[in-house]
Amino acid sequence: MGKKRKQVHFNVFIRGAGHHAGAWKHPLVNPHTDLDLEHYANLAAIAERGLFDSLFMADNYSGLGRRLEPFTLLSALAGLTKHVGFIATVSTTYNDPYHVARKFASLDHISKGRAGWNIVTGHSQEDADNFGKPGHPEHSTRYDIGTEFIEVTKQLWDSWEEDALVYDRDNGVMIDNSKVHEINFKGKYFNVKGPLNIPRPPQGYPVLVQAGSSESGKELAARAAEVIFTAQQTLGAAQEFYNDVKSRLIRYGRTPNELLIMPGLSPIVADTEAEARDLQEELDSLVDAKRSLKRLSNYFTVDLSEYDLDDPVPVEKSKPYGFSQNGITSRHEAVVDAAIRDKMTIRQFLSRSYAGHGHVSYTGSVLQVADFIEKWVTENGADGFNILPPLFPSSLETFVDKVVPELQNRGLFRTEYEGTTLRDRLGLTRPENQHKQIWALNREAN
């Protein structure tokens, strides 16, 4: 038998109408589904039919988005599914470690080991305003807080030894208190006594995901993350990012297979390329181009609406990377870098922006989309993809029913789920309790 091919991993980024900017106007979409449990249950069922590793729910704490709170929704979906994992975004700037550790432990128990935490450091000053904070912390400070936050959370998960629950009916002992421990964490930002008031999660820790591609983000991913969601719009940029992040792992005693890199991909797919192009044109026609040009002009020192749509993108007029240093910095770099690498016209730049919020979009036939995925995975641009379907549920159904079987035929994707937990599906090991030896020594001393 030949060597098994590298296997691709898929997460689906769930939301209401879909990820194309014009999705909510499309006749195939019900625009009132943003707050509808049945809608999300249907998406979870489709993803599970397609053997996806997980589904992901983004979150922030400001703006006029119509997003359900992740723990509430994902806990409900856990009871309606058996295999697919659940990844929730939670900020380390506007939460406390104890709350987060408790909620993720609960989600992991409810789902029997299918939870994941997408770690972000916060979005904007508006978030700070909603929490009564004096200001949104500076970029590097947020990452310092985030690093300490993760460590506290892991220690809280480790405050219960694996066999602390004994349920000894004869002696009337439910919990062996000698195996539940205070952590007494004292750091720069957090002081937490512990222990957590719920046993260690089934996976040890929920899968730790990091989203963001700034320098600080890449270093946090190398230190602590097991999956990274990123936005890379060209294979060249993806390969550079992939090699950069993987090369950092050795500094933390880790190996490259301990971190999966999953760029966002918004596939506009149909049986033929012509049909896919027609769908893209239909979707693009639903978007207010003037408003989108105004938004994209934020990346430049000029107003793009003053140019002809077939002019090249004035990349020489782009603002320097990191100009919005206290917000999300990496998306700007990915967007402008793609315009440079692909020598885009403003029309192409505009169309690309509609589909994937700065992630790569690809329009083509089933075979062409499968080719795209195969090339990125086999040429070390990705270990898998965070799929952003342009329309829900139809685009996800097309991907599951047509692209997935093609990848299975090529030996690139599973034909059945492995194991029982999200870690099993992603090929990640279950972490041992980092205090196991300390707890044992303490018991011997007593």
Distance CA 392, CA 365 (A): 19
Task: Tell me the β-bridge partners of 90.
Answer: 119
Q: What is the mean pLDDT of residues 114-133?
A: 92
What torsion do the CA atoms of 328, 333, 338, 340 make, to the nearest 10 degrees? 150
Task: Check if the beta carbon of residue 76 is closer than 8 Å to that of residue 426.
Answer: no
Exposed / middle / buried, residue 415 (Cβ in 10 Å: 0-12, 13-18, 19+):
exposed
As a whole number of angstroms, the distance between CA 333 and CA 358 comes to 10
Token representation of residue 223: 């230190």
pLDDT of residue 319: 83
Residue with tokens 């975004």, as numbered in its chain? 89
Mean pLDDT, rounded, for 7-27: 95
Q: Residue 124: exposed, middle, or buried by beta-carbon count in 10 A (0-12, 13-18, 19+)?
A: middle
Which pLDDT score, from 0 to 100, does residue 145 have? 96
The pLDDT score that the predictor gives to residue 365 is: 98
Q: What does each C-alpha distance from 188 to 19, 146, 158, 232, 369 come to in angstroms?
A: 39, 12, 21, 34, 48
Mention the CATH class of domain 9-270+358-445.
Answer: alpha beta
3-state secondary structure of 363: strand
Nearest by Cα to 112 from 69, 83, 72: 83
- H or E element, residue 109: helix 97-110
Which ranges of 273-329 does DSSP label H, i.e. alpha helix? 273-284, 289-296
Residue-wise pLDDT tens digits, 215-257: 988 999 999 999 999 999 899 999 999 999 999 999 999 999 9
330 pLDDT tier (thresholds 50, 70, 90) = low
Closest CA to 215 of 299, 92, 137, 322: 322
What residue has token string 């049986």?
271
Cβ-contact 292, 357 below 8 angstroms: no
Q: What is the pLDDT of residue 437?
A: 80
pLDDT beyond 50 at 327: no
Mean pLDDT of the chain: 93
Could you give the percent of the chain with pLDDT greater than 70? 96
Which of these ranges, 116-120, 322-326, 411-415, has the smallest mean pLDDT? 322-326
Find the DSSP H helices in 111-234. 125-130, 139-157, 215-224
Query: Residue 103 pLDDT > 50, yes or no?
Result: yes
262 pLDDT above the threshold of 90: yes
The gap between the terminal CA atoms of the chain, to the nearest Å, is 56
pLDDT at 331: 60
Give the model's pLDDT for residue 435: 85
pLDDT of residue 325: 46
Upper half-sphere CA count for residue 358 (Cβ side, 13 Å) = 18
